[in-house]
Amino acid sequence: MSFAKMELGGRDQIMAKLVLSPTFLAAVFFIYGFILWTVWLSLTRSTILPSNHFIGLANYHDLFGSSRWWRSLINLGIFGGLYIFISMGVGLGLAILLDQRIKGERLFQVIFLYPMALSAVVTGVAWRWLLDPGFGMQAIVRSWGFPHFTFAWIDNPKMAIYTVVIAAVWQTSGFMMAIFLAGLRGVSTDIVKAAQIDGASTLRIYQRVILPSLAPTFFVALVLTVGLAVKSFGLIIALTGGGPGYSTNVPSIFMYVFSFQRGEMGVGAASALVMLIIMMIFAVPFLYLDSRRQA
Amino acid sequence: MHTKEFLRPGRFLLYGLLSLGALFFLLPFYVMLVTAFKTMPEIYSSGILALPSHLNFSAWQHAWSSATIGAASEGIHGYFLNSFILVIPAVIISTAFGAFNGYVLTHWRFRGSNAFFYALLLGTIIPFQIVLLPMAWVEGKMGIAGTLIPGLMLVHVIYGLAFTTLFFRNYYVGIPHDLVKAARVDGAGFFRIFFRIMLPVSTPIIMVTAIWQFTMIWNNFLFGVVFTQGGQQPVTVAINDLVDTVTSVHMWNVDMAAATFAALPTLVVYLIAGKYFVRGLTAGAVKG
Amino acid sequence: MKALHKSVISVGVALALSGGMAGTAMAASAPNLSVINWWTAGSEAKAMHVLVQMMKAKGVNIQNDAIAGGGGAQARTILKTRLMEGQIPGAAQIKGVEIQQWGHTGLLANIDAAAQAENWDKNVPAVINDYMKYKGNYVAAPMDLHRLNWLWYNRAILAKSGVKSAPQTWPELMAALAKVKAAGYIPMAGGGNGWMIATEFDPIALETGGPAWYKDVFVKLDPKAIDSPTMVKALERLREIEAYTPKSLAGRTWNFDTDLVANGKAAFQIMGDWANGQFEFLHVTPGGSKVGCVAFPGTAKEFIYNVDSFIFFRQHTAAKSAAEIKLAETMVSPKFQLLFNKYKGSIPDLMNVSLKGYNACQLKSRAQFLTARKDNGLVPSFSQNMSTYGPPTGAFIDSLDKFYTSNESPQEAAAAMAKRVEVAKSQD
């Protein structure tokens, strides 16, 4: 869809810019301004409170010398990647299933969607119980007559991060489902009918016609899941406390602990910046693709 | 959709898969509810999936009106009111801004408006911890620190703008620009076009945006605990105070009851507005 | 360091000045002091309520800003945001070496007047008073005196397992753990999170190396003491304890473990004396017939201490400053100290009050404090931020975390620990 050149009619155009200006100012000040402040903070010797003592890149040096930070970065990759991929995948899958004229579609939608309504603390605690080997799923399945069934990921430093994925996917995939369902329902029926008349199989139709037209839907879903991944601080704290040890730390937890608990605000600020830069790098290709599509 | 002819043999499989999924999704909520109706000794002795021996309402009553939270022992009901006072205006304001922003960015484009939009999207991935200290400083200077309205509300409105703008922009892009052009030829101005053309078809996306914002703001803990003080705090802070005790015994049934109370408004919003939600998305909210 | 001083002080003064604008507006009403803490539940919360009432009787309004979460992480966050907002609190729950860091900022108030009124110099041990002072002036008030090197045990389990008496030495402890395991009970309850691992390691380290080595490691941060055969031995001992701690207790809070000991499911717990409060809550009196307490094997003459305290911030009005002095006085008054510590499981900082109504373990604690004080056996707890704060404590905790949850050898862990601490030191 392309726009013909708009005539830039004086007063209205000024009105338009005026209307946009509060958001513009808010973004400049409260988003970019604060980010700049964080950049400055990361270059200072800030400990329990912000300080103005410039020390160059020393905080970054300390940051990347910390095994806890590396663990956090790796976890962001594992958790972020799996979470985004699986919740979009499950969301899409559920949407396709629900799109098949199901009886009780509304009921299923609510069941899949309600986890979004729960706060992080609640989700974390409920899942912590289910995942606890002592009385959660492991114990329950064993009581059903499978004494060797093991599911103690949450206590295992190597596997605990995957339990976070489970809880986070549970919370968000219903919302992804709703988004994809809408996208599916918006696909032009004419194109699909034409393909059916041409004799294409269901799979082919999905592959060649339906999924590609979901590109804009994917974009929104991606932006939202990336944002939610970054915000998953509360869920992880409630579920594992960042442990065992620090094995489920992610950058947002690292930043919070170092800035506010350990009195290492400069290092905390550096970690926040690195996390932001990584997310931006990840997002840029998708933004570019979307802007191309808009043109 | 139109492929149902192809899937009839697999209908059984279809319902089977969906039901399995439903089970997975319902499990934690079931655990929560069941725990809230048990007594503490029962919780210690029975399995987490076991049904309560009888429906015990004491935990619910305690959570609502007498649990010790912070300095008071009045349960969570007061905090409930705070959350409503906070969320309703915050949702209305951020949605309104999102609508106007989306409108401008799609039908009143100017050089740099696209760049502005993508730059604004950074607001969706900014980690909230970055915001805490500088915002505290700003609110202190403005003299609104520690207040629910306007203090906390301002924070939520500002950091919701990126999302609400995203929703409306992607929706209004689907409204043919020719309509706007025709209206301009007829002499309609900026606001008239918005109220006569955009708004009437915006119900779906308003629902989507409002639901998203409601969920995000209602469930937000970090901003709530930092930017309000004392009796002004939202219900998420109260829940955390209950659940996050290190030095005393957990009353799990009270915790779960309180958590269910806190989740109810959002759940109700989803139930009632759920149909608008999917319909809203259907009507082109997420198309390009 | 000087440059750091100056810049931090300049920020501190700027904050204080900007706070002055907000402060003067409120000067007209009765002094209202915000007291930031994280005692949101249980007996500590009740004690804070009592403090509020006591202060009201003296004409001072306390805003009990109790904020739950993360061992104070949330409360610390809010302390900092309040300062950024220009809302200077009256007092905040900060303790140990961190008090000095706050002193550097120039934001703290001089509360010598309170100390003189209640004669802290005479009635509170010097070792505690030293923490409360910055450059010779009192800036903080102590609330309690906790002991870390305790071993709690369930009498019935020990009897049923054939353990005749509570272990007094390391070999006895190991033998007891083995017997309990053979009898089918949980030998050791613990290891649930990083803080608990560090808390358990505290007395183990002391037992292995003695007070002098402990201080070299955790106070002086001497790399040669850290990367040493003694540390390797201490870590080996931690491993041995870990072997007797069921993995299923990972992620469990310390009071869950205390419950296990009280309910006859687990035999031992290594925990500070705040476990007293938990036992009492479960109506099991420590030192009574069900649960016993003994100094951690090998540390009977020593006392690893942890002192909770409140720092006081400089105010801009005379009324508020006077109110703060009253608050500090009340916090260290015999009446409040007796009440607060009884429920918290610790002992008062005031040595001149008799411990009426305290349980047997608390009485033992007081006796062993006085002995340890004489014999140079007082040691500041590293796990509770008494010996260091910030990067170095973080380095120790991260190292122990890694060691406990991996297959790292004690030698590797000791070396890694020394390296982390070195890096941490350079951040000061």
Task: List residues of C whose CB lies inside 8 A of any A CB.
Answer: 3-4, 7-8, 10-12, 15, 70-73, 76-77, 80, 83, 98, 101-102, 105, 193-194, 197, 247-248, 250-251, 389-391, 393-394, 398, 401-402, 404-406, 423, 427
Phi-psi region of C86 (alpha: psi -120 to 50; beta: other; left: phi over 0): left
Looking at residues A96-114, what average pLDDT do you find?
Answer: 83
Distance of CA A122 to the CA centre of its chain: 18
Interface contact flag, C255 B229, Cβ < 8 Å: no
Interface contact flag, C72 A261, Cβ < 8 Å: yes
B261/chain A closest Cα distance in angstroms? 10
| B74–C contact, CB cutoff 8 A | no
Interface contact flag, B133 C40, Cβ < 8 Å: no
pLDDT at B239: 81
**Paired strand residues for C286:** C291
pLDDT at C405: 83
Query: Over the Cα atoms of chain C, what is R_g?
Result: 22
Looking at residues A125-147, what average pLDDT do you find?
Answer: 82
**Residue A232: how many CB atoms within 10 A of its CB?**
24
3-state secondary structure of C294: strand
Chain A interface test: which of B4, B7, B17, B25 (most A C-beta within 10 Å): B25
Interface contact flag, C70 A237, Cβ < 8 Å: yes
Burial of C240 (0-12, 13-18, 19+ CB in 10 A): middle
Backbone angles phi, psi at C311, to 5 degrees: -95, 155
B127/chain A closest Cα distance in angstroms? 6
**Residue C399 clears pLDDT 60, i.e. is over it:** yes
Residue among A51, A128, A260 whose CB faces C8 most closely: A51
Task: Give the contacts of C297 (CB within 8 A, at least 6 positions apart).
Answer: C151, C167, C168, C169, C170, C172, C173, C207
ipTM above 0.85, yes or no: no
Distance CA C300, CA B170 (A): 71
Distance CA C71, CA C134 (A): 24
Interface contact flag, A264 C390, Cβ < 8 Å: yes
| C193–B contact, CB cutoff 8 A | no
Distance CA C414, CA B133 (A): 37
pLDDT at C1: 40
Looking at residues B40-67, what average pLDDT do you find?
Answer: 81
Spell out which residues of chain A touch residue C251, defining contact as CB-CB under 8 Å: 128, 132, 154-155, 240-241, 243-244
pLDDT at A187: 67
| A132–C contact, CB cutoff 8 A | yes
Task: Give the contacts of A166 (CB within 8 A, at least 6 positions apart).
Answer: A127, A131
B40/chain A closest Cα distance in angstroms? 15
Among candidate residues A32, A152, C72, A72, the one with its CA nearest the CA of residue B158: A32
Distance CA A7, CA A19 (A): 18
**Residue C12 clears pLDDT 50, i.e. is over it:** no
Mean pLDDT of chain C: 86
Among candidate residues C210, C194, C358, the one with its CA nearest the CA of residue C276: C358
One-letter amino acid at C266 equals: A
Contact B158, B88 (CB under 8 A): no
Backbone angles phi, psi at C35, to 5 degrees: -115, 110
| B143–C contact, CB cutoff 8 A | yes
Interface contact flag, B146 C87, Cβ < 8 Å: yes
Interface contact flag, B17 A97, Cβ < 8 Å: yes
Distance CA C306, CA C379 (A): 9
Among candidate residues B234, B96, B82, the one with its CA nearest the CA of residue B168: B96
**Structural domain boundaries of chain A?**
67-294
Distance CA C388, CA C382 (A): 6
**Residue A160: how many CB atoms within 10 A of its CB?**
26
Interface contact flag, C255 B249, Cβ < 8 Å: yes
The CATH H-level (homologous superfamily) assignment of domain B77-285 is: MetI-like (1.10.3720.10)
pLDDT at B278: 56
Backbone angles phi, psi at A258, to 5 degrees: -70, -35
pLDDT at C27: 38
Name the pairing type of β-strands C137-138 and C146-147. unpaired
Contact A266, A59 (CB under 8 A): yes
Task: Give the contacts of A287 (CB within 8 A, at least 6 positions apart).
Answer: B118, B121
Mean pLDDT of chain A: 84
Task: Please give the structure tokens belonging to residue C96.
Answer: 């140990």
**DSSP annotation string for C318-333:** HHHHHHHHHHHHHHTS
3-state secondary structure of A76: helix
Question: Considering all CA atoms of chain C, what is the largest pairwise distance in Å, rounded to the nearest integer?
Answer: 70
> Among A282-286, B99-103, C292-296, which stretch is predicted with the lowest mean pLDDT?
A282-286
Indicate the pLDDT class of residue B287, thresholds 50, 70 and 90: very low
pLDDT at A188: 60
Q: Which residue of C has its CA nearest to A51?
A: C8
Interface contact flag, C45 B68, Cβ < 8 Å: yes
A190/chain B closest Cα distance in angstroms? 11
| B249–C contact, CB cutoff 8 A | yes
- Most confident by average pLDDT, A2-11, A85-94, A258-267, C20-29: A85-94
Residue among C12, C72, C405 whose CB faces A157 most closely: C405
Q: CA torsion sign, C176 to C178 to C183 to C189?
A: positive
Interface contact flag, C105 A53, Cβ < 8 Å: no
Distance CA C234, CA C227 (A): 11
**Residue B283 clears pLDDT 60, i.e. is over it:** no
Distance CA C384, CA C233 (A): 22
**Residue A201: how many CB atoms within 10 A of its CB?**
12
Q: Which helix (H) or strand (E) holds C244?
A: none
Residue A114 DSSP class? G
**Structural domain boundaries of chain B?**
3-56, 77-285
CA distances from C134 to B99, B115, C245, C314, C326 (A): 56, 53, 42, 14, 20
Looking at residues B136-143, what average pLDDT do you find?
Answer: 90
Q: Which residue of A has its CA nearest to B279?
A: A182
C373/chain A closest Cα distance in angstroms? 30
Contact B142, A45 (CB under 8 A): no
Greater model confidence, C271 or C118: C271
Spell out which residues of chain C touch residue A167, defining contact as CB-CB under 8 Å: none
Name the pairing type of β-strands C378-380 and C303-306. parallel
Greater model confidence, C359 or B175: C359
Distance CA B236, CA C44 (A): 22
Distance CA C93, CA C74 (A): 12
Among candidate residues A81, B73, B160, the one with its CA nearest the CA of residue C40: B73
Q: Which residue of B has its CA nearest to A174?
A: B25
pLDDT at A291: 78
Task: Please give the structure tokens belonging to residue A271.
Answer: 């970690």
One-letter amino acid at C43 equals: S
Interface contact flag, B246 C71, Cβ < 8 Å: yes
Residue among B226, B240, B247 whose CB faces C81 most closely: B226
Task: Please give the structure tokens belonging to residue C138.
Answer: 């009192």
Distance CA C240, CA B250 (A): 30
Distance CA A72, CA A255 (A): 10
> Among A181-195, A277-291, C377-391, which stretch is predicted with the lowest mean pLDDT?
A181-195
SS (H, E, C) chain B: CCCHHHHHHHHHHHHHHHHHHHHHHHHHHHHHHHHHCCCHHHHHHCCCCCCCCCCCCHHHHHHHHCCCECCECCCCHHHHHHHHHHHHHHHHHHHHHHHHHHHHHHHCCCCCHHHHHHHHHHHHCCCHHHHHHHHHHHHHHHCCCECHHHHHHHHHHHHHHHHHHHHHHHHHCCCCHHHHHHHHHCCCCHHHHHHHHHHHHCHHHHHHHHHHHHHHHHCCCHHHHHHECHHHCCHHHHHHHHHCCCCCCCCHHHHHHHHHHHHHHHHHHHHHHHHHHHHHHHHHHCCC
B129/chain C closest Cα distance in angstroms? 10
Interface contact flag, C98 A263, Cβ < 8 Å: yes
C53/chain A closest Cα distance in angstroms? 30
Cis-peptide, bond into residue C229, ω within 30° of zero: no
A53/chain B closest Cα distance in angstroms? 18
Task: Give the contacts of A197 (CB within 8 A, at least 6 positions apart).
Answer: none
**Paired strand residues for C33:** C62
CATH topology of domain A67-294: MetI-like fold (1.10.3720)
| A67–C contact, CB cutoff 8 A | yes
Interface contact flag, B259 A98, Cβ < 8 Å: no
**Residue B77 clears pLDDT 50, i.e. is over it:** yes
Spell out which residues of chain C touch residue B227, defining contact as CB-CB under 8 Å: 81
CA distances from B123 to A251, B62, B137, B219 (A): 18, 40, 20, 18
Spell out which residues of chain B touch residue C283, defining contact as CB-CB under 8 Å: none
Greater model confidence, A227 or A162: A162
The string of pLDDT tens digits covering residues C216-262 is 999 999 999 999 999 999 999 999 999 999 887 776 778 788 889 99
Interface contact flag, C402 A128, Cβ < 8 Å: no
The whole-model pTM stands at 0.83
Interface contact flag, B28 A16, Cβ < 8 Å: no
CA distances from C260 to A240, C149, C159, C166, C198 (A): 21, 19, 17, 18, 20
3-state secondary structure of A2: coil
The string of pLDDT tens digits covering residues C44-99 is 777 888 899 999 998 889 888 888 775 677 888 899 999 989 889 999 999 998 89
**Residue C199 clears pLDDT 90, i.e. is over it:** yes
Q: Which residue of B has its CA nearest to C19?
A: B140
Name the pairing type of β-strands C32-37 and C91-92. parallel
C385/chain A closest Cα distance in angstroms? 10
pLDDT at C240: 94
One-letter amino acid at C282 equals: L
Looking at residues C138-159, what average pLDDT do you find?
Answer: 94
**Residue C294 clears pLDDT 60, i.e. is over it:** yes
Indicate the pLDDT class of residue B127, thresholds 50, 70 and 90: confident
Residue among B141, B143, B225 whose CB faces C67 most closely: B225
Q: Which residue of C has its CA nearest to A237?
A: C70
Interface contact flag, B249 C52, Cβ < 8 Å: no
pLDDT at A125: 82
Interface contact flag, C251 A263, Cβ < 8 Å: no
| A243–C contact, CB cutoff 8 A | yes
> How many CB contacts within 8 angstroms connect chain B with chain C?
97
Please, which chains are in contact with B (at least 3 CB pairs closer than 8 A)? A, C
Interface contact flag, A51 C248, Cβ < 8 Å: no
Contact B284, B171 (CB under 8 A): yes
Spell out which residues of chain A touch residue C70, defining contact as CB-CB under 8 Å: 237, 261
Task: Please give the structure tokens belonging to residue C127.
Answer: 């070792």
pLDDT at C266: 93
Interface contact flag, A189 B28, Cβ < 8 Å: no
Distance CA B272, CA A10 (A): 44
